[in-house]
């Protein structure tokens, strides 16, 4: 009888003792995180898509080499790349394969906003998170639940182009009097140009002309002549890649004299590929970008050097967006593994983790222009910022924000 009491007491004691110990969270059993990338790897916009792919391969390799996702037991990221073929249907088909066949947990893409929209028609019903690298404002204004966007949206690029130009004129004791807006007729061109127009209007400046041209334009001479007739003191231009090269060459060959030409939207004029294609015509061209390759943080310097060593070029818009998007995803995965160990890769839990982030240090912050990433309820970064690069001596240099600039803008254009 005594023995029985002792045994019971011992068992009860053990039971009470184990209840007061802190319960350890189980490490989620995740073998890999499947990351989809939908980009235009062929066709009209391939120059952007291939740069994004290069960046994704580089960063995922680094994340995995540094232990993967600690909160998920060191799980590694696996990249699944699909070519949108520079078409909306191509982006939709790519998303369908990634979601239904490859079973990815998140998709980055698709650079072109209208292509991203077709992708969302596939991903939203399946609750697959899209981290967009497309900029048109409406992507985060239509009530989608599984989308985030870190880079500055198109209208921010337009406003940044104006703020830069106004600042340049002020530095030289001048005011903008006769601005002209030029843009291609696609959605991105329209929305970015609207951002230019709205900021000018808010500053009490009235454009003397707004010129729209077809996306597939082959002859810029009529556009250049119309600009010349308007006699502007600044031209704000929103091109894509091929037309940015055509525009730069036409400005040079037709001798257009304008004190300042500022591009908006990060899709041409002052990136390495545009400079190479435009030749001497690229000199003094300016464009806004969602990424600053000259950001003087230790990590950004290391990453830019690694990119240049591997691919032989300076990373700009497409690569930069992927840099900070993937590092932000890494932060969100760590949070999701800790907070939702039973189902860390579900779309709902990944979105909760992303929305909880407030990043001011680490690789994501060190590659982001403002150094700060925190998402608004619609999925856009509350601290979105664009920069401006100008071609000087055949190379892009940072000229805006002025307090971080590598060089003063060349003004007026020689």
Q: How far is CA 269 from CA 24, 33, 313, in A?
A: 55, 37, 16
Tokens of 291: 């990424």
Greater confidence (1 vs 282) lies with 282
Q: What pLDDT is stored for residue 307 in this prediction? A: 98
User: In whole angstroms, what is the distance from residue 135 CA to residue 266 CA?
Assistant: 10
Greater confidence (203 vs 4) lies with 203
Q: The sheet that has 387-392: what strands, in order across it?
A: 209-213, 179-184, 234-238, 261-263, 286-289, 387-392, 395-400
Query: From the CA atom positions of the chain, what is the Rg in Å?
Result: 25
Confidence of residue 31 (pLDDT cuts 50, 70, 90): confident
* High-pLDDT (> 70) share of the chain, %: 93
Q: What pLDDT is stored for residue 28 in this prediction? A: 67
Question: For residue 49, which of 79, 26, 83, 25 has the smallest C-alpha distance?
Answer: 83
Core vs surface per residue 86-99: b (16+ CB within 10 A) or e = bbbebbbbbbbbbb
Confidence of residue 30 (pLDDT cuts 50, 70, 90): confident
342-371, pLDDT tens digit by residue? 999 999 999 999 999 999 999 999 999 999
Which residues, at least 6 apart from 149, have a Cβ–Cβ distance to it below 8 Å?
131, 132, 133, 134, 135, 139, 140, 379, 380, 381
Tokens of 29: 């059993």
Q: Is the pLDDT of residue 234 over 60?
A: yes
Q: Strand, coil or helix: what is 79?
A: strand
What are phi and psi for residue 32, nearest 5 degrees? -160, 155
Q: What pLDDT is stored for residue 275 in this prediction? A: 97
Cβ atoms of 295 and 367 closer than 8 Å: yes
* C-alpha triplet 230, 235, 237: angle, nearest 5°: 120
Which residue in this structure is represented by tokens 């009888």? 1
Task: Give the pLDDT mean for 271-282.
Answer: 96
Which residues, at least 6 apart from 294, have a Cβ–Cβ distance to it below 8 Å?
397, 398, 406
Which structural domains are found in the chain, ordered by start?
32-152+295-366 (3.40.50.2300), 155-289+387-404 (3.40.50.2300)
């Amino acid at each position: 009888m005594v023995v029985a009491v002792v045994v019971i007491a011992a068992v009860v004691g053990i039971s009470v003792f184990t209840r007061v110990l802190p319960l350890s969270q189980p490490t989620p059993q995740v073998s890999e995180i499947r990351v989809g990338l939908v980009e235009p790897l062929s066709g009209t916009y391939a120059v952007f898509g291939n740069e994004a792919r290069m960046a994704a391969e580089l960063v995922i390799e680094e994340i995995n080499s540094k232990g993967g996702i600690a909160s998920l037991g060191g799980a590694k990221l696996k990249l699944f790349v699909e070519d949108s073929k520079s078409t909306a249907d191509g982006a939709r088909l790519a998303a369908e394969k990634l979601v239904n066949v490859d079973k990815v947990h998140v998709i980055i893409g698709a650079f072109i906003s209208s292509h991203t929209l077709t992708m969302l028609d596939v991903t939203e019903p399946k609750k697959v998170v899209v981290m967009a690298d497309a900029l048109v404002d409406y992507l985060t204004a239509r009530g989608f639940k599984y989308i985030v966007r870190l880079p500055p949206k198109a209208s921010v690029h337009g406003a940044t182009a104006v703020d830069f130009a106004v600042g340049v004129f002020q530095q030289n004791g001048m005011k903008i009097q006769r601005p002209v807006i030029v843009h291609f007729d696609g959605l991105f061109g329209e929305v970015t140009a609207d951002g230019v127009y709205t900021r000018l209007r808010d500053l009490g400046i009235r454009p003397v002309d707004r010129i729209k041209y077809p996306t597939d334009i082959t002859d810029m001479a009529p556009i250049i002549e119309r600009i010349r007739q308007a006699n502007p003191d600044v031209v704000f231009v929103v091109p894509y890649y091929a037309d940015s090269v055509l525009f730069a060459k036409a400005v040079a060959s037709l001798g257009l004299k304008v004190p300042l030409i500022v591009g908006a939207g990060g899709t041409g004029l002052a990136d390495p590929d545009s400079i190479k294609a435009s030749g001497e015509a690229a000199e003094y061209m300016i464009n806004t970008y969602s990424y600053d390759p000259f950001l003087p943080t230790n990590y950004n310097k290391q990453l830019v050097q690694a990119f240049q060593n591997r691919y032989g070029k300076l990373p700009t818009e497409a690569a930069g967006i992927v840099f900070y998007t993937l590092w932000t995803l890494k932060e969100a995965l760590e949070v999701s593994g800790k907070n939702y160990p039973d189902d860390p890769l579900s779309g709902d839990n990944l979105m909760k983790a992303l929305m909880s982030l407030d990043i001011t240090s680490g690789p994501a912050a060190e590659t982001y222009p403002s150094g700060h990433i925190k998402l608004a309820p619609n999925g856009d970064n509350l601290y979105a910022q664009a920069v401006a690069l100008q071609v000087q001596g055949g190379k892009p240099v940072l000229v805006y924000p002025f307090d971080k600039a590598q060089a003063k803008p060349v003004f007026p254009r020689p």
